[in-house]
Protein backbone atom coordinates (compact mmCIF):
# COMPACT_ATOMS: atom_id res chain seq x y z
CA UNK A 1 0.00 0.00 0.00
CA UNK A 2 1.69 3.19 -1.20
CA UNK A 3 1.01 6.25 0.93
CA UNK A 4 1.43 9.82 -0.25
CA UNK A 5 3.79 11.65 2.11
CA UNK A 6 2.32 14.34 4.34
CA UNK A 7 5.13 16.59 3.07
CA UNK A 8 8.41 16.40 1.23
CA UNK A 9 11.49 18.52 1.84
CA UNK A 10 12.09 20.63 4.93
CA UNK A 11 9.81 20.76 7.95
CA UNK A 12 10.64 23.02 10.88
CA UNK A 13 10.05 21.85 14.43
CA UNK A 14 9.16 25.38 15.49
CA UNK A 15 10.21 26.86 18.84
CA UNK A 16 7.54 28.20 21.17
CA UNK A 17 8.44 31.77 22.19
CA UNK A 18 7.58 32.39 25.84
CA UNK A 19 7.34 35.82 27.45
CA UNK A 20 6.74 36.13 31.20
CA UNK A 21 5.44 32.54 31.28
CA UNK A 22 2.96 33.26 28.48
CA UNK A 23 3.19 32.45 24.77
CA UNK A 24 4.33 35.39 22.64
CA UNK A 25 1.95 34.98 19.71
CA UNK A 26 3.21 37.99 17.79
CA UNK A 27 6.74 36.58 17.77
CA UNK A 28 5.37 33.18 16.79
CA UNK A 29 3.53 34.77 13.87
CA UNK A 30 6.74 36.42 12.66
CA UNK A 31 8.64 33.16 12.93
CA UNK A 32 5.99 31.33 10.90
CA UNK A 33 6.05 34.00 8.19
CA UNK A 34 9.86 33.74 8.10
CA UNK A 35 9.59 30.00 7.55
CA UNK A 36 7.18 30.34 4.65
CA UNK A 37 9.25 33.06 3.01
CA UNK A 38 12.32 30.81 3.08
CA UNK A 39 11.00 27.63 1.51
CA UNK A 40 9.83 25.52 4.44
CA UNK A 41 7.27 22.88 3.45
CA UNK A 42 5.73 22.10 6.84
CA UNK A 43 5.65 23.12 10.49
CA UNK A 44 5.65 20.88 13.54
CA UNK A 45 4.03 22.72 16.42
CA UNK A 46 4.23 21.47 20.02
CA UNK A 47 7.10 19.11 19.36
CA UNK A 48 10.22 18.62 21.48
CA UNK A 49 11.73 21.84 20.12
CA UNK A 50 8.48 23.61 20.99
CA UNK A 51 8.85 22.57 24.65
CA UNK A 52 5.62 20.60 24.47
CA UNK A 53 6.34 18.92 27.81
CA UNK A 54 5.90 22.22 29.66
CA UNK A 55 2.69 23.37 27.97
CA UNK A 56 -0.61 23.07 29.79
CA UNK A 57 -3.42 21.36 27.90
CA UNK A 58 -5.12 24.74 27.35
CA UNK A 59 -1.89 26.26 26.04
CA UNK A 60 -1.36 23.28 23.75
CA UNK A 61 -4.84 23.63 22.28
CA UNK A 62 -4.52 27.38 21.83
CA UNK A 63 -1.08 27.39 20.20
CA UNK A 64 -2.15 24.64 17.82
CA UNK A 65 -5.24 26.61 16.83
CA UNK A 66 -3.13 29.73 16.33
CA UNK A 67 -0.55 27.99 14.14
CA UNK A 68 -3.17 26.25 11.99
CA UNK A 69 -4.99 29.53 11.41
CA UNK A 70 -1.82 31.53 10.78
CA UNK A 71 -0.22 29.02 8.42
CA UNK A 72 -3.42 28.34 6.48
CA UNK A 73 -2.67 26.60 3.21
CA UNK A 74 0.86 28.02 2.92
CA UNK A 75 2.54 25.06 4.63
CA UNK A 76 1.43 21.81 6.21
CA UNK A 77 0.77 21.94 9.95
CA UNK A 78 1.73 18.86 11.96
CA UNK A 79 0.82 18.74 15.65
CA UNK A 80 2.93 17.04 18.30
CA UNK A 81 0.55 14.90 20.35
CA UNK A 82 2.99 12.51 22.01
CA UNK A 83 2.46 11.39 25.58
CA UNK A 84 3.14 8.45 27.85
CA UNK A 85 -0.59 8.57 28.55
CA UNK A 86 -2.48 7.13 25.58
CA UNK A 87 -5.73 8.91 26.45
CA UNK A 88 -3.91 12.24 26.71
CA UNK A 89 -2.38 11.68 23.27
CA UNK A 90 -5.84 10.90 21.93
CA UNK A 91 -7.28 14.14 23.33
CA UNK A 92 -4.51 16.16 21.70
CA UNK A 93 -5.01 14.37 18.40
CA UNK A 94 -8.76 15.01 18.54
CA UNK A 95 -8.09 18.71 19.08
CA UNK A 96 -5.64 18.76 16.15
CA UNK A 97 -8.29 17.23 13.93
CA UNK A 98 -10.98 19.65 15.16
CA UNK A 99 -8.97 22.78 14.36
CA UNK A 100 -7.90 21.61 10.90
CA UNK A 101 -4.31 20.36 11.27
CA UNK A 102 -2.88 18.30 8.42
CA UNK A 103 -1.29 15.55 10.53
CA UNK A 104 -0.11 14.59 14.00
CA UNK A 105 3.35 13.61 15.24
CA UNK A 106 3.33 11.05 18.03
CA UNK A 107 6.48 10.12 19.94
CA UNK A 108 7.08 6.74 21.53
CA UNK A 109 5.81 6.73 25.13
CA UNK A 110 8.50 7.72 27.59
CA UNK A 111 9.20 6.61 31.18
CA UNK A 112 6.66 3.76 31.13
CA UNK A 113 9.21 1.56 29.28
CA UNK A 114 6.59 -0.07 27.09
CA UNK A 115 7.19 -3.28 25.15
CA UNK A 116 7.03 -3.33 21.35
CA UNK A 117 3.50 -4.71 21.62
CA UNK A 118 2.56 -1.89 23.97
CA UNK A 119 3.90 0.73 21.57
CA UNK A 120 2.05 -0.81 18.64
CA UNK A 121 -1.21 -0.74 20.59
CA UNK A 122 -0.49 2.80 21.86
CA UNK A 123 -0.13 4.22 18.34
CA UNK A 124 -2.93 2.11 16.91
CA UNK A 125 -5.37 3.19 19.63
CA UNK A 126 -5.07 6.83 18.58
CA UNK A 127 -4.88 6.09 14.84
CA UNK A 128 -8.08 4.03 15.09
CA UNK A 129 -9.99 6.94 16.62
CA UNK A 130 -8.68 10.03 14.81
CA UNK A 131 -8.91 10.09 11.03
CA UNK A 132 -5.78 12.14 10.45
CA UNK A 133 -2.37 11.10 9.07
CA UNK A 134 -0.02 10.12 11.89
CA UNK A 135 3.76 10.42 11.81
CA UNK A 136 5.44 8.20 14.38
CA UNK A 137 8.45 9.66 16.19
CA UNK A 138 11.31 7.40 17.20
CA UNK A 139 13.90 9.09 19.41
CA UNK A 140 15.26 6.57 21.93
CA UNK A 141 17.84 9.05 23.27
CA UNK A 142 14.90 11.03 24.69
CA UNK A 143 12.39 8.33 25.53
CA UNK A 144 14.53 5.36 26.52
CA UNK A 145 12.78 3.00 24.09
CA UNK A 146 12.76 2.59 20.33
CA UNK A 147 10.68 0.94 17.65
CA UNK A 148 12.02 -1.98 15.63
CA UNK A 149 11.73 -2.53 11.88
CA UNK A 150 9.28 -5.35 12.59
CA UNK A 151 7.05 -3.01 14.62
CA UNK A 152 7.20 -0.48 11.81
CA UNK A 153 6.03 -3.17 9.41
CA UNK A 154 2.96 -3.88 11.56
CA UNK A 155 2.17 -0.20 12.07
CA UNK A 156 2.63 0.59 8.37
CA UNK A 157 -0.46 -1.50 7.59
CA UNK A 158 -2.68 1.02 9.39
CA UNK A 159 -4.18 3.41 6.81
CA UNK A 160 -3.81 6.43 9.11
CA UNK A 161 -0.14 5.83 9.97
CA UNK A 162 1.65 7.77 7.25
CA UNK A 163 5.30 7.53 8.25
CA UNK A 164 7.97 8.07 10.85
CA UNK A 165 10.32 10.77 12.02
CA UNK A 166 13.34 8.56 12.54
CA UNK A 167 15.74 10.17 15.01
CA UNK A 168 17.57 7.13 16.32
CA UNK A 169 20.59 7.83 14.12
CA UNK A 170 20.56 4.13 13.20
CA UNK A 171 20.89 3.90 9.42
CA UNK A 172 20.70 0.11 9.56
CA UNK A 173 17.26 0.44 11.14
CA UNK A 174 16.18 2.65 8.26
CA UNK A 175 17.48 0.20 5.66
CA UNK A 176 15.68 -2.69 7.34
CA UNK A 177 12.49 -0.64 7.69
CA UNK A 178 12.54 0.30 4.01
CA UNK A 179 13.05 -3.35 3.13
CA UNK A 180 10.08 -4.51 5.22
CA UNK A 181 7.68 -1.60 4.62
CA UNK A 182 8.50 -0.26 1.18
CA UNK A 183 6.23 2.66 0.27
CA UNK A 184 3.70 1.80 2.98
CA UNK A 185 5.67 3.90 5.47
CA UNK A 186 7.22 7.26 4.61
CA UNK A 187 10.41 8.14 6.45
CA UNK A 188 11.82 11.53 7.41
CA UNK A 189 15.14 12.24 9.05
CA UNK A 190 14.73 13.42 12.61
CA UNK A 191 18.31 14.69 12.85
CA UNK A 192 19.80 17.49 10.76
CA UNK A 193 23.13 15.68 10.50
CA UNK A 194 21.47 12.56 9.05
CA UNK A 195 19.48 14.31 6.32
CA UNK A 196 21.74 13.58 3.35
CA UNK A 197 22.38 9.94 4.25
CA UNK A 198 18.73 9.23 4.96
CA UNK A 199 17.45 10.96 1.84
CA UNK A 200 19.97 8.96 -0.19
CA UNK A 201 18.32 5.87 1.30
CA UNK A 202 14.81 7.03 0.47
CA UNK A 203 13.73 9.50 3.18
CA UNK A 204 11.31 12.20 2.03
CA UNK A 205 13.03 15.05 3.86
CA UNK A 206 13.84 16.23 7.37
CA UNK A 207 12.00 17.49 10.44
CA UNK A 208 14.60 20.03 11.42
CA UNK A 209 15.76 22.04 14.41
CA UNK A 210 18.35 24.02 12.42
CA UNK A 211 15.71 25.41 10.07
CA UNK A 212 14.37 27.60 12.89
CA UNK A 213 17.44 29.74 12.19
CA UNK A 214 18.38 28.74 8.62
CA UNK A 215 15.22 27.64 6.81
CA UNK A 216 16.51 28.50 3.33
CA UNK A 217 19.67 26.44 3.88
CA UNK A 218 17.79 23.35 5.08
CA UNK A 219 15.23 23.69 2.28
CA UNK A 220 18.05 23.93 -0.28
CA UNK A 221 19.78 20.90 1.22
CA UNK A 222 16.59 18.87 0.80
CA UNK A 223 16.06 20.11 -2.75
CA UNK A 224 19.58 19.06 -3.74
CA UNK A 225 18.95 15.60 -2.31
CA UNK A 226 15.61 15.35 -4.07
CA UNK A 227 17.45 16.17 -7.31
CA UNK A 228 20.06 13.49 -6.49
CA UNK A 229 22.80 16.12 -6.50
CA UNK A 230 24.49 14.68 -3.46
CA UNK A 231 27.90 16.19 -4.19
CA UNK A 232 26.40 19.68 -4.01
CA UNK A 233 24.38 18.67 -0.92
CA UNK A 234 27.53 17.49 0.86
CA UNK A 235 29.35 20.69 -0.07
CA UNK A 236 26.52 22.80 1.31
CA UNK A 237 26.33 20.71 4.47
CA UNK A 238 30.08 20.98 5.09
CA UNK A 239 29.72 24.75 5.44
CA UNK A 240 27.16 24.37 8.21
CA UNK A 241 28.22 21.07 9.82
CA UNK A 242 29.86 22.63 12.86
CA UNK A 243 26.92 24.96 13.43
CA UNK A 244 24.35 22.18 13.08
CA UNK A 245 26.30 20.17 15.64
CA UNK A 246 26.42 23.20 17.96
CA UNK A 247 22.63 23.26 18.09
CA UNK A 248 22.94 20.17 20.31
CA UNK A 249 25.81 21.32 22.50
CA UNK A 250 23.19 21.41 25.26
CA UNK A 251 19.70 19.95 25.39
CA UNK A 252 17.47 21.05 22.50
CA UNK A 253 16.00 23.70 22.28
CA UNK A 254 18.43 25.58 24.53
CA UNK A 255 21.10 26.24 21.83
CA UNK A 256 18.72 26.99 18.95
CA UNK A 257 16.87 29.56 21.03
CA UNK A 258 20.21 31.13 22.00
CA UNK A 259 21.31 31.23 18.35
CA UNK A 260 18.06 32.88 17.29
CA UNK A 261 18.49 35.50 19.98
CA UNK A 262 22.04 36.24 18.75
CA UNK A 263 20.55 37.05 15.34
CA UNK A 264 17.88 39.23 16.96
CA UNK A 265 15.18 36.68 16.16
CA UNK A 266 13.74 36.80 19.65
CA UNK A 267 12.90 33.20 20.43
CA UNK A 268 11.59 34.00 23.88
CA UNK A 269 12.38 32.48 27.23
CA UNK A 270 12.89 28.85 28.15
CA UNK A 271 10.64 27.14 30.65
CA UNK A 272 12.01 25.26 33.61
CA UNK A 273 13.47 22.72 33.94
CA UNK A 274 15.36 24.05 30.88
CA UNK A 275 17.76 26.91 31.65
CA UNK A 276 19.79 29.42 29.64
CA UNK A 277 22.85 28.19 27.78
CA UNK A 278 26.15 28.34 29.68
CA UNK A 279 28.63 31.11 28.85
CA UNK A 280 31.16 28.54 27.63
CA UNK A 281 28.70 26.94 25.24
CA UNK A 282 27.38 30.32 24.14
CA UNK A 283 30.89 31.33 23.10
CA UNK A 284 31.27 28.09 21.13
CA UNK A 285 27.90 28.60 19.47
CA UNK A 286 28.76 32.18 18.54
CA UNK A 287 32.07 31.05 17.01
CA UNK A 288 30.30 28.38 14.95
CA UNK A 289 27.81 30.95 13.68
CA UNK A 290 30.60 33.32 12.69
CA UNK A 291 32.35 30.50 10.82
CA UNK A 292 29.35 30.28 8.49
CA UNK A 293 29.39 34.03 7.85
CA UNK A 294 26.56 34.96 10.19
CA UNK A 295 26.98 38.43 11.66
CA UNK A 296 26.96 37.91 15.43
At 24 the pLDDT is 95
Q: What is the pLDDT of residues 44-89, one digit of tens each?
A: 999 999 999 999 999 999 999 999 999 999 999 999 999 999 999 9
Asked if 9 and 205 touch (Cβ cutoff 8 Å), the reply is yes
pLDDT of 266 higher than 90: no
How far apart (Å, rounded) are the C-alpha atoms in residues 50 and 238?
A: 27
pLDDT of 1 higher than 80: no
Rg of the chain's alpha carbons, rounded to an integer? 18
At 268 the pLDDT is 87
At 67 the pLDDT is 98
Write down the pTM of the prediction: 0.96
Residues acting as catalytic residues: 137, 165
At 53 the pLDDT is 93
What are the structural domains of the chain? 9-227 (3.20.20.70)
Mean pLDDT of the chain: 97
Angle formed at CA 231 by CA 228 and CA 235, multiple of 5 degrees: 130
Amino acid sequence: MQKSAVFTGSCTAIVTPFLDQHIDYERLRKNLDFQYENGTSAIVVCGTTGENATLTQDEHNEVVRFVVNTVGQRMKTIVGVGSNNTLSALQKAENAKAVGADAVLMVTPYYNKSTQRGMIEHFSYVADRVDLPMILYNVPSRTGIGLTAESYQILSQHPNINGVKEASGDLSLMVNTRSLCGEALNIWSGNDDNTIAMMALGAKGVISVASNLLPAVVAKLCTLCQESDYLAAVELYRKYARLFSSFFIETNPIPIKAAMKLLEMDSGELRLPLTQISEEHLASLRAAMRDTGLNV
